[in-house]
Chains A and B, each alone.
Chain A
Amino acid sequence: MQYLVQLLISGLAIGAIYGLIAMGFAVIYKSTGLVNFAQGEMTMITAYIAWTISTTVSGNVFVVAVGAILAAIVLGLIIERLVMRPMLGEPVFATVMVTIGLAVILRSAINFIWDAYPHGLELGMGRGIVHLGSIGVRTGQLAVIATLLLLLAAIWAFFRYSKVGVAMRAVAADDRTALLMGISATKVHALAWAASSVIAGIGGVFFALSYDLSPAMFQLGLKAFPATILGGLDAVLGSGLGGLLIGITENLAGGYLGSGMKEVAGFAMIIVVLMVRPFGIFGERDIERV
């Protein structure tokens, strides 16, 4: 029983990280209509920048947090301006392939800029252990779950009530009509990329706090795919919850079936889910016209 609870909690913690990255996917999909295959790499860059700040400038939590968030915003804006904006109006296939190309470039750039050894992000916190009854939980794990829930609520409210959020949904639904209505699609896209980069970056920094930075970290992006798909690409809330679900499934499969199963549990799960609901659990079905 205790083993099960332990697995569930660590599943929730890693799931919250997947959830944050999956929300990054969903924010971009919801406002630009494309899947950003470079999300994992962007997450990784933000985490590495946070690590660089903590080792060179200051190990203070607030300095690192603010620096990482600013870096993530700049990264998102640069990518949007240099790579994605010229592709505005091109077919979705072409644009998505551009993000794949971008992912490959960013991944090798990281290996060039930083070395290939694992690093721990030491901020003097996050690795302490809190006891809930008889079960020990890391503070970093609790913090990431709380952050995910907070961001979920904030983003839900943003897309539901704020004018900008509605504009973003309008651009995703039909960018031409949105332009005619006086919405600046470029501004919306820039905002979406910055926001997505920050949300996913937070996930990356939490990952670095609880585990380690390594060149294999881009796989977080691949792990977060199932979460986004599970929730539905256009459902930001669903993606966050999908992340938790994938995290738990993965950990249970790893704990009871073996480590090989842990790697693929999420992927196996989405294949099954997509067979039943091709648009994800919370996704909306598109209506098609010839």
Chain B
Amino acid sequence: MRTGDYKQSYGELVALIDSPPVWLWSAVLLLALIAAPYLLNSYALSFLMIILITVTGALGLNILTGYTGLISLGHVGFLVTGAYAYAVLVSKYHMPPLVGFLGAGVVPALASLIVGAPSLRLKGLYLAITTLAFSFIINTVILEMRWLTNGARGIQVQRPEIFGVSFDSDAAFTYLCLAIAVLTLLATLNIRRSRIGRAFVAIRDNDTAARVMGINLHAYKLFAFVTSAFITGIAGALYGIYLSFVSVEGFPFLLSIEALAILIVGGLGSALGAVLGTILIVLLPEATRIVFSLFSAQMDATFTTGAQELKSMLYGLVIILFLRFQPRGLVGAWHDIRRAWVHWPLRY
């Protein structure tokens, strides 16, 4: 009987994947995702695309809020900056899409330096509100800079073509999203197990203590902001391409809340949590719609007329219920189940 996980060297402690079954299942999952575009119909495929794009964005926020403990209520600001950077570079100045993606990362990263700088002095709620202010300011800036962004009219975006490979079809675009999501996941996991990741977590747990232990708060907080904004910006570009139209209305403030809801539901400070949370939050409105339609056609009609309201109501409800009953999120629940499975019939 397996009685516990014994780690004997430092390398084992920081290993990316610590047991062969996890390797196996990860490989199976990846293969399933690669096969998915051929098996799913276009409706289900659109959900897969949204999940992959949202995972990228949620992982970006996870670096800032989950690891470093800096609450951001304005992450939609980075999302919209990334989307506009891509749209302006590719649609307006006809740059290659790869340059567009680079810009979609770099421009929000630069913007994050502006938001990040006050954060060196601010803490907790004051910081959350500064980021909120940022996301409103960025919207106005975009609307006012008409010569660059077309103002309220928005910019049309085509699906990209990289190195002669066209990502025009849904299946191909899903592969692009999948590649970026997997790369982001690997990057976050690697950041977490490096010196930088440990510094982030130390800052989250107690910044004064972290500082005393020789962690440069300013450098690491700014680094967390820049990395987070870079990743979120790329997610924004993908979302813009998915919508095929970039405008300020396409990125409502609710997205910031949705991102936080994903982290809370999944479990703060865990990459796996961000993935699980995304799946739950993205599929939640659809699942509820199906449950509703089982009851009666009339309730189904209510759902279609008030879809947006019901959707946001569900987010709110899910946030509150998780915080109340499962503050460690889906990851916490998963750990409990796993422990019970391994140790049964003993408690521990």
Contact = CB atoms under 8 A, between A and B. Distances in A.
B319 A100 contact: yes
Interface in B110-126: 117-118, 121-126
A274 B316 contact: no
Nearest to A82: B320
A111 B320 contact: no
B206 A290 contact: yes
Classify chain B's interface size: 35 or more
A275 B136 contact: no
A97 B319 contact: yes
Contact of A274 (B130, B144, B313, B323): B130
Contacts of A278: 121-123, 126
A47 to B, nearest CB: 19
Contacts of A94: 323, 327
A163 to B, nearest CB: 28
B323 A288 contact: no
Nearest to A111: B309
A101 B121 contact: no
A225 B125 CA distance: 11
Contact of A103 (B128, B144, B316): B316
Contacts of A96: 125, 128
B2 interface: no
A195 B309 CA distance: 29
Interface in A251-290: 260-261, 263-264, 267-268, 270-271, 274-275, 278-279, 288, 290
Interface in A1-40: 34-35
B133 A112 contact: no
Taking each of A83, A93, A109, which has the highest tally of chain B beta carbons within 10 Å of its own beta carbon? A93
Contacts of A279: 126
Nearest to B121: A278
Given A86-B324, A104-B257, A270 B144 contact: no
Contacts of B71: 93
By size class, the interface of chain A is 35 or more
Interface string B304-324: 001011101101111110011
Contact of B327 (A90, A105, A271, A290): A90
A111 B307 CA distance: 11
B125 A98 contact: no
B320 A102 contact: yes
A96 to B, nearest CB: 7
Dominant secondary structure at the B interface:
helix
Nearest to A288: B208
From A92, A94, A103, name the one whose CB has the most chain B CB atoms within 10 angstroms: A94
A107 interface: yes
A65 interface: no
A149 interface: no
Contacts of A267: 132-134, 136-137
Interface string B239-283: 000000000000000100100110010000000000000000000
A263 B129 contact: no
A104 B260 CA distance: 13
Given A105-B317, A268-B137, A270-B129, A97 B208 contact: no
Contacts of A103: 316
B166 interface: no
Contacts of B312: 104-105, 107-108
Contacts of A144: none
Given A97-B264, A101-B323, A92 B317 contact: no
Contacts of B337: none
Contact of A275 (B118, B260, B309, B323): B118
B320 A98 contact: yes
A-B residue pairs, 3 tightest by C-beta: A101-B319, A267-B133, A104-B316
22 contacts: A86-B324, A94-B327, A96-B125, A98-B319, A100-B73, A100-B316, A101-B261, A101-B319, A101-B323, A102-B316, A104-B316, A105-B312, A108-B306, A108-B310, A109-B313, A112-B309, A233-B125, A260-B140, A264-B136, A271-B130, A274-B122, A288-B208
Given A86-B324, A108-B316, 16 more contacts: A35-B129, A87-B324, A97-B264, A97-B323, A100-B316, A100-B319, A105-B313, A108-B310, A225-B129, A225-B132, A226-B133, A267-B136, A274-B122, A274-B130, A288-B208, A290-B206
